[in-house]
Structure 1
Amino acid sequence: MSYTFNDLHTQAIGGNWRDGNGTLYIQNHNPYSGELLGTASSASPNDLHAAYESADQVQKEWNGLNPYKRRDMLLELAVLLEKREAEITELIIDELGGTRLKAGFEIGLVKDMIKEAATYPLRMNGQILPSPVDGKENRVYRMPVGVVGVISPFNFPFFLSMKSVVTAVGAGNGVVIKPHEDTSVTGGTMIVQLFEEAGFPKGLVNAVLLDLSEIGDLFVSHPLNKVISFTGSTAVGKKIGELAGRYLKKASLELGGNSALIVLDDADIDYAVSAAVFSRFTHQGQICMSANRILVHESIKETFLEKYKETVASLKVGDPREDDTIIGPLINKKQADTLMNIIDNGIEEGAVPLLKGEANGSLVSPTILTEVTPDMKAAREELFGPAVSVLTFRTDEEALDIANASDYGLSGAIHTEDIERGAELAKRMETGMIHINDGTINDEPIVAFGGEKMSGIGRLNGDESLDAFTTKKWISVQHTKRAFPYS
């Protein structure tokens, strides 16, 4: 099978590439050109059951392999990715409107995550623990959970699927992926193809393309699914969390953000501008860690905004296939309309557009809103596109209050020459991740990733992913006869 849309618009279940048995069709369009990339018949409940059955059965075979063999296969997966990188780049550009720069960035993240997951088979460590009972030995084993269900978003579908898929596999599990309908290939079927081409057992990793109107809650509630890993909006994440709780399943929820990038009065302004542009406009601002709010000390506001506007205005907007394009299309026109409504609402509430973008279909040029206050919708809601709110402050305490005045708490950044000043502020920010003299967009394979408040539950990467996709089993051995109290 080649890495083309014609071959990958299909269900990938149990090692078989076939049409779904649902009654609906899932269409996939190029967000820039509008071209129809492919149509897939949807999965039925029986198809989903077949995917979970396959993952459950093949997982036992996979986990029975020698750990060194599993490690070597995961390393071969990284080698294959490098071989297929050019083809995957084209798929990312066409399916989600990512620029070449973005595609390279995303593929690099996946490479690092695969190499980290390759260490997991040799890290399934157990313990021997003492007992208060004479003659007893306590053994604690780390075991795979069995089957992991992965629901991935449209913005970084390859990475945000693989972040859970490859680590779950590395820990000895089978997987069923439900990619976003707009990125069913790069977030789903292409990943299955990579695993199969690398020689993994067929059916260990499966991808189902489905419509929730046909499936309902079954993806989460299915009895063979032991852990749900979801990345997406807070609204959907709440529903998945409720379902997981109802069925007593473990859930890892990586949700939305409203990150603040704080520029203190002693910051290197030119450097802070570069970090702020990168933090907002990478992949058109469609990143949960993006800096939605730029908080600038009032003493440097004018200088900062002058430089910031000049840089943002120079970013090329257009065809993501062109090498110098920085801002490509949003995933669809609905997302563009939602963003423009928030921008217009902000202006109605009193925000002043330093730069006012326009929408042409799914293509949106940058907007910079100034004179924003924390109570405005533009400051409270996630701006999932090329728009940013700029707020000012007088003191560090005021900056902290503004930054924390959000229901979200995913990422953030602080720019200052005084590292300890920044570190003390960072400790008091209600966010899962905070970066001093850097951008808000960071994800590293061995560092705990996750948010606070409405930005999610749980952590992934490194030991955190190993914990997320395994369980502990206590086996005790009574080496001598124990005296029971009544027999």
Structure 2
Amino acid sequence: MAHYQNLELQYIGGQWLKGTSTQSIQNINPYSQDIIFKMAAASTVDVDSAYAAAEKAFYGQLMQSAELRKSVIQKLQEVIRARRDEIVGWLIRESGSSRLKASIEVDAALGIIQEAGAFPDKMLTEQLESKDPQRRSFVLRKPLGVIAVISPWNFPFHLSMRSVVTAIACANTVVLKPASDTPVTGGTLLGKLFEEAGLPAGALNVISGSGGEIGDYFVEHAAPKMISFTGSTEIGQRVGAKAVGGETLKRLALELGGNAPLVILDDADLDLAVELTVMGRFLHQGQICMSTNRVIADVSIHDAYVEKLLARVKQIAVGDPDKADTLIGPIINAAQVKKHQQIIQIALEQGAELIYDGGIQGNLVAPHVFINVDPSADLAQEESFGPILPILQAENEAHALELANSTRFGLSSAVCTRSLERGAGFAAQLDAGMTHINGISVADHANAPFGGEKNSGLGRFNGRWIFEEFTRTHWMTLPL
């Protein structure tokens, strides 16, 4: 099976076209720093073309066929399984994913595709009890129309697929704008996969361009009925303002930043706590919104936990993401590396004690572990999105809960304890969208609600929750 070609082009209306912007996107391997290709970026003209193609496809008879959509989704799973090695290879080269993380990502995408396969049959008309004895009452489940998807670079394949396949399963059409760091794994690769799966032309369009040139225009455009955005809280807030501040109000699905706590209670299994920390913080270099951004350890077990953690952290393999034993590969780009250097420096200036410094070489940032962290310090309050771990001390369980809830974020969280009943009681008090007891903070099931509270987003992805987000209800009455 030949590998896909022309992945540096825009995908509009079923055609592979060169972007019309005067700007270009450099697709760079974050580990080797090799230029994979240069891509002519999309302009606002391309945005117009993509939205026009999506609107035309939405009103076409093919997308209104549930059988066609089910067939495409089934074929899509087969194509991804056949091209699994190709997809994993792209994730390693383009996003700096380790083999472990790339494999997890492809499996997650397959899970969400399988879940979406049931959605075409759920686009039903439901009869209600009528309060008027002379009329019948019905609720129609309908698609929204064109959905605009903006996806990030950290889990580009899964987080693009999560919105795209769900939208299409619900008879919507899509214009996808992937992150400029991952135009293939978050964008054109999906275009090729859906094309091979038999999706009608124009039902999915993929455009890559700079945020400065097309970002606001993409969101403010009159065509999309909904904006599905995954990314940072700061950009998400801008997207939200643009989506509801224009002439046409749009629905929003925002999955934003996190500051997930791992709370280690005084009765915890410390060996388990260490493993939860290592995988929760250092998988994909900590570049995950659900990543364990801080540990809150009870004072009674703090020192013993830290001792065990340091011994384990020293064993972590850092380097080439293509090697099977690598856990920490490269940070996505030099700008992010500089950000991590600044986070470390500010943490030191604010009084945190750096007890493990794995070093920084190129785009490789090894683990950095801090203790004696002030809960009000930037290191504890803000998302680092890297392999930097602050450990806070809690005086008792009540204090641990106070610390866990004391940030502007509320996405994921985790609790470690030998008592599941105690853990469940603690978890229920956390101001977060997701909590995992004796599990890592990084978890995503295709049939479970994914999303956060506070500044971590709006709405929920996955399962029946995303089905509700990506469809609309229409009440209709008829005389008897």
Shorter-chain TM-score range: over 0.9
1:261 matched residue in structure 2? 262
CA distance in 2, matches of 1:276, 1:87: 31
In the alignment, which residue of structure 2 is the partner of 1:485? none
- 2:316: which partner in 1? 315
Partner of 1:90: 89
> 1:448: Cα distance to partner?
0.7
Partner-residue secondary structure (3-state), 1:431: coil
Displacement after TM superposition at 1:215 (Å): 2.2
Q: What is the CA distance between 1:306 and its match in structure 2?
A: 1.2
More displaced stretch, 168-177 vs 345-354: 345-354
Instruction: Give the alignment of 1:36-185 within 5 angstroms.
Output: 36-61=35-60, 64-185=63-184
- Alpha-carbon distance in 2 for matches of 1:19, 1:166: 25
1:357 positional shift? 2.9
Q: Which residue of structure 2 aligns with residue 230 of structure 1?
A: 229
The residue identity in structure 1 corresponding to 2:58 is Q
Supply the distance in 2 between the matched residues of 1:216 and 1:115 (Cα, whole angstroms).
31
Which residues of structure 1 form unaligned runs of 5+?
Answer: 480-487
2:398 aligns with 397
Aligned partners of 1:31 and 1:331 also within 8 Å: yes
Counterparts in 2 of 1:278-427, with a 5 A limit? 278-427=279-428
CA distance in 1 between counterparts of 2:95 and 2:212 reads 24
Matching residue's letter, 2:10: Q
Moved more, 70-79 or 184-193: 70-79
Asked if the contact 2:63–2:200 (Cα under 8 Å) also holds between the matched residues in 1, the reply is no
Letter in 2 for 1:321: D
For residues 155 and 356 of structure 2, the distance between their equivalents in structure 1, rounded to whole angstroms, comes to: 27
Q: SS of the counterpart of 1:340?
A: helix
Supply the distance in 2 between the matched residues of 1:44 and 1:158 (Cα, whole angstroms): 23
Kindly state the Cα deviation for residue 434 of structure 1 after the two structures are TM-superposed: 0.7
SS of equivalent residue, structure 1 residue 442: coil
Distance 1:342 1:324 in 2: 28
Deviations 1:257-314 (A, max 9, x none): 0010001111111111111111000000000000111111111112211111111111
Equivalent-residue separation in structure 2 for 1:96 and 1:235 (angstroms):
22
- Quick check: 2:57–2:63 contact (8 Å CA) kept in 1? no
Q: Is the Cα–Cα contact under 8 Å of residues 371 and 390 in structure 1 kept in the other structure?
A: yes
Q: Is the 8 A contact 1:3 1:190 kept in 2?
A: no
Q: TM-score, length-normalised on structure 2?
A: 0.97
Residue equivalent to 1:270:
271
CA–CA distance in structure 1, aligned partners of residues 66 and 133 of structure 2: 34
How far apart are residue 367 of structure 1 and its match? 0.5
Change in CA separation of 1:62 and 1:116 when aligned onto 2, cut-off 3 Å: farther
Tell me, in whole angstroms, the C-alpha distance in 2 between the residues paired with 1:442 and 1:363. Answer: 25
State the alpha-carbon separation in 1 of the partners of residues 234 and 61 from structure 2: 35
**Partner in structure 2 of residue 449 of structure 1:** 450
Residue 470 in structure 1 maps to residue 471 in structure 2: yes
What letter is aligned with 1:458? G
Alignment partners' CA distance in 1, 2:293 and 2:190: 31
Cα offset for 1:63?
5.7
Q: CA separation in 1, counterparts of 2:61 and 2:41? A: 28
- Report SS of the residue matched to 2:120: helix
Secondary structure, in 3 states, of the residue corresponding to 2:228? strand
Given that 1:220 and 1:243 are in contact with CA atoms closer than 8 Å, whether structure 2 keeps it comes out as yes
- How far apart, CA to CA, are the structure 2 residues paired with 1:97 and 1:222? 33
8 A Cα contact 1:55 1:206, kept in partner: yes
- Answer yes or no: is the 8 Å Cα contact 2:72–2:194 preserved in 1: no
Give 1:2 deviation, angstroms.
Answer: 5.3
% identity of equivalent residues: 42
CA distance, structure 2, for counterparts of residue 28 and residue 70 of structure 1: 32
Shift of 1:135: 1.6
Within 5 Å, give how 1:9-24 maps onto structure 2: 9-24=8-23
Give the CA deviation at 1:421: 1.3
CA–CA separation in structure 2 for the residues paired with 1:414 and 1:2 = 46
Range with greater deviation from structure 2 (187-196 or 313-322): 313-322
Q: Which amino acid aligns with 1:235?
A: E
Tell me how far apart the structure 2 counterparts of residues 206 and 302 of structure 1 sit (CA, whole Å). Answer: 53
Tell me, yes or no, if the aligned pair for 1:346 and 1:378 is still in contact at 8 Å.
yes
Distance 1:290 1:214 in 2: 31
Letter in 2 for 1:99: S
- Segments of structure 2 that go 5 or more residues without pairing to the other structure are none
Q: State the alpha-carbon separation in 2 of the partners of residues 345 and 221 from structure 1.
A: 37
- Aligned partners of 1:314, 1:134: CA distance in 2, in Å? 73
Contact 2:63 2:69 in 1 (8 A): no
**Alpha-carbon deviations, 1:305-336, whole Å to 9, x = none?**
11111111111111111111111000001101
Would you say the 8 A contact 1:63–1:173 is kept in 2?
Answer: no
Q: Deviations over 1:8-67 (max 9, x none)?
A: 011011111010111111111000111111111111212111111111111233665542
Shift, 1:428, TM fit:
1.2
Amino acid at match of 2:380: A
Conservation of the 8 A alpha-carbon contact between 2:299 and 2:396: no
For 1:394-413, what per-residue CA distance to the aligned partner results, in whole angstroms no more than 9, with x for missing partners? Answer: 21110011111101000000
The one-letter code sitting in structure 2 at the alignment partner of 1:461 is N
Greater shift, 61-70 or 136-145, is seen at 61-70
Q: Aligned pair in 2 of structure 1 residues 64, 90: CA closer, same or farther (>3 Å)?
A: closer
After superposition, the CA RMSD in angstroms is: 1.3
Query: Superposed, which structure 2 residues align to 1:23-38 within 5 Å?
Result: 23-38=22-37
Secondary structure at the aligned position of 1:8 is classed as: coil
> Tell me, what secondary structure is at the counterpart of 1:420?
helix
Alpha carbons 1:63, 1:172 under 8 Å: kept: no
Equivalent residue number for residue 430 of structure 1: 431
Q: Choose 187-196 or 467-476, whichever is displaced more.
A: 467-476
